[in-house]
Structure 1
């Protein structure tokens, strides 16, 4: 009987660990998705801010304006923004 009790306790302990490790990994994945979403939102807002600054400086065709977070180039009636992390955005001028 003792071996039967030990076996069921061992199996219960393993199932308990599997359940909580799956729960923990699920939470990690959930928060990782949130962080990547917020990171992309921050990059988009930085690019929009850089576009706004470039538009107030009245860039002409093929002129560049450099910031500490990237650079803006006005090309063919569009603002092309390249951030330091490699993300690229393209915006039309607002009126």
Structure 2
């Protein structure tokens, strides 16, 4: 009888630890997804800002403008932005 109590106590302790670790990993996954979304949003806003700055400088075809976060090239009525982290964006010119 004593062994049965110890075994069930051990099993319930293991199940409780599994539950807590699953809860912790779920939270980590949730916050990691939020961070990925915010990073993508920041990159998009940086690219849009660089496009706006390039448009105010009136770039001509195949001209390039460099910033500390990347570079903008005007090519065939589109602004092609390459950020330093490797992200690539392409925007149409405002009319």
Same fold (TM > 0.5): yes
Q: Within 2, Cα distance between the matches of 1:44 and 1:80?
A: 13
Return the alpha-carbon distance in structure 2 between the equivalents of residues 32 and 69 of structure 1.
24
Q: TM-score, normalised by structure 2?
A: 0.98
Structure 2 stretches lacking a partner, 5+ long:
none
- Pair 1:82 & 2:74 matched: no
Counterpart position of 1:15: 15
- Following TM superposition, the consecutive aligned residue runs of length 4 or more in structure 1 with deviations greater than 6 angstroms are none
CA distance in 1, matches of 2:17, 2:52: 52
Query: What does 1:33-72 align with in structure 2 at a 5 Å threshold?
Result: 33-72=33-72
Q: For residues 48 and 93 of structure 2, what CA distance do their matches in structure 1 show?
A: 11
User: What is the deviation of 1:10?
Assistant: 0.1
- The number of equivalent residue pairs is 95
Write out per-residue CA displacement over residues 20-57 of structure 1, whole angstroms, 9 at most, x where no aligned residue.
Answer: 00000000000000000000000000000000000000
**TM-score normalised per structure 1:** 0.98
Shift of 1:2: 1.1
